[in-house]
Structure formats: structure tokens, C-alpha cells
Amino acid sequence: MTPPLLTVSDLVVQYHRSGAPPVRAVAGVSLDVGPGEVVGLVGESGCGKSTLARAVCGLTAPAEGRIDFDGTPVRPLGVRRRDPALTRVQMVFQDPYGSLNPRRQIGAQIADGIRTAAERGEPTDGTTPQQYLTRVGLPESAAARYPHEFSGGQRQRIAIARALAARPRLLVGDEPISALDASAQAQVATLMRSLAVESGAGLLFISHDLSVVRLIADRIAVMYLGRIVETGSTAEVWDAPRHPYTKALLAAVPRADGAGILPTELPGDVPDPAAPPAGCRFHPRCPAAFDRCAREEPQLIAGGVACHLYAASDHGLQPLRSPH
């Protein structure tokens, strides 16, 4: 097996607020992304996905745990400064309006990406901004134009071209399709997948849209209140979810045609991440909770689930109780 490109181990990221307990937005997460691998990260709003993405990109300091990228620890250097080696991690954000400069020609913005790779001391391979535009499905003539001349989906393609020009080893997309028209969503997601896989880069793709995640991810990680509660191959998680939270998420998704958006609300309230429930964080909302769940926090076991209903055994994951 190829060694992971990105290794997140027992990561804790917290936000400090005056006069209140810190919010542990990421509360002990371990996650790998390998070269050419697409990992989809899903979970309800506020569960810590963006915080995790920012930490992976070296924009937020971990309180505990570590992040390694290409064998080197990822650490922020200070406000607005990134380690030049971290330009091999490129991000694509939700809002393609905000991430492009409205007053500069698109070709010049893609050239910034090319320069980023050169500044790392890598010999250039001669790919021009026009060629990067072609790779993302736009005409070469777009280089001389400005962002406002394009649709949201096209602008997101431009943002992807700029990221690609920096020759990343890892692409991180934080809801990169949620601001796009339905017709552009699957196209942009599929494009991100094929560009990452072709170049041997990894892709961490955060999305509320399970139907799109299912389409492009090799693996899915499900996050709840700062923790990964289940992870597995896309087929495993989609067809045979184990964690009661994953089951609830999937059950709430309309899937007659296999499609679906994460529900905005499951039954019960999402607890305050500053004061998470004792034991399993999901137990107050869990239909299968029993006494142990309120006492003891389950760890992610070898079979890929963090739930007291299961135990790891020599034969894989063994259900200890009926998960309803």
C-alpha cells in the first residue's frame, strides 16, 4: 500500500472565547488521505469540518495531536503566513466570487499559481495558464477576461485551475460545490476528482451533498460534533452504514434515484460543542443507546466505527447488540 500523503492523528482544535469554556470544534480526529485517493467528509453543520480543513492547510494551530503532510509536520507559522512547503496543499472554497480577484485578468491569477510552484524551487513544466484553463474545460480565451464575465460554475473551474497550477499534492475542497447550480455541481465535483487522480494528488472533499460525495469519493468519513464516528469505503458507508448516526443521516436522505442532500435537521438538537454530552456524543439522540453510551466515549475501532454496539474481532466488525 502507498503510504498516506496526509496523516491526521488524534487532532484537537479549539476556539477560545472570553468568559466561556473553549469550543473543541475538532475533538480527537484521526484521518488519512493517500496519493490519488478521494476522501469525502460529511456531517451536519457545525460538526467541525471546516475547522479540520483549516488545520490541514496549516491555517489553524492544533491544540493537541498532529498533522503530517508528506512526512513533515504541518504547523501554522503565524497570522497569514504559511510554510512555503504547504503550498503543495491547495484549497478550493465554497465561494468562487470571494476567492478570485475581480480586478485581475484570469490568466494572471492562474500565473500566480504557476509562480507558487516555482517559488518552491520546482522546475516549471511549461504548462501555460491557457492550458490549465483547457484542463478545467474552459476556452483559452478566458485568460484575457475577468471573473465577472463567468457563471458560478465557471468561476469555480477557474479557482480549480489556479489551485492546479500550484501543482498540489493535496487538494482540499471545503463545500466547493454548495454555491453552484445543480447542473454544475456534479460536473465540478467530477472534474476535481479526475484532476486529483490524474496528477496523483489526494483530494479531501467536504460536502453536504451525499449523492455527489458518493459519486466521487473512494472513502467516506462521517463526522459528528468534532469526532469521526464512521469511516469506510464509499460502498460500505452508503450501502451498509453501521453507526446509528450514519444510519440516521442516510435514512433522512431521499434516495429513490440514489440522490440526496444531507438533512438540515435530524430529530433532536445538536448539542453545544462547548459542552458535549458525556460518553458517546451522539447518545442523547441515538435510538440504540444503552447505559454504557452515557458513561464511556467510544473510540474508532479497526472496522471503522466508533460505537459501543460493535467490537473489533478477528473476523472484522462484530455487532454486540442489535443496532435497531
Ligand X SMILES: Nc1ncnc2c1ncn2[C@@H]1O[C@H](COP(=O)(O)OP(=O)(O)OP(=O)(O)O)[C@@H](O)[C@H]1O
- Contact residues toward ligand X (CB under 6 A) are 15, 17, 23, 25, 43, 45-51, 273
For residues 9 and 69, the answer to whether their CB atoms sit within 8 Å is: no
The option from Mg ion, ligand X, none interacting with 51 (CB < 5 to 8 A, set by class) reads ligand X
The option from ligand X, Mg ion, none interacting with 273 (CB < 5 to 8 A, set by class) reads ligand X
Q: Is 51 near Mg ion (CB under 5 A)?
A: no
Q: How many Å apart are CA 258 and CA 248, to the nearest integer? A: 16
For residues 10 and 65, the answer to whether their CB atoms sit within 8 Å is: yes
Can you tell me which residue has the cell 507559522?
A: 77
Q: Is 60 near Mg ion (CB under 5 A)?
A: no
The option from Mg ion, ligand X, none interacting with 91 (CB < 5 to 8 A, set by class) reads none
Widest pairwise Cα distance in the chain: 64
Residue 79's H or E segment, with its range, is: none
- DSSP code of residue 141: G
**Residue 51 or 234 having the CB closest to ligand X:** 51
Q: How many Å apart are CA 62 and CA 257, to the nearest integer? A: 40
204 forms bridges with which residues in the sheet?
39, 172
**Residue 23 or 31 having the CB closest to ligand X:** 23
**Residue 226 or 244 having the CB closest to ligand X:** 226
CB of 84 to ligand X, least distance (A): 26
Nearest one of 152, 38, 145, 5 to 160, comparing CA atoms: 152
CB of 22 to ligand X, least distance (A): 9
CB of 25 to ligand X, least distance (A): 3
Nearest one of 148, 196, 144, 155 to 173, comparing CA atoms: 196
| Interface stretch with Mg ion, choices 47-55, 57-65, 268-276, 292-300 (CB under 5 A) | 47-55
CB of 45 to ligand X, least distance (A): 3
**Residue 48 or 129 having the CB closest to ligand X:** 48
Out of 8, 37, 44, 50, the residue judged to bind Mg ion by CB under 5 A:
50
**Residues counted in the chain:** 324
> What is the CB-side half-sphere exposure of residue 1 using CA atoms within 13 A?
7
| Interface stretch with Mg ion, choices 29-37, 49-57, 148-156, 224-232 (CB under 5 A) | 49-57
- Which chain residues interact with Mg ion by CB under 5 A? 50
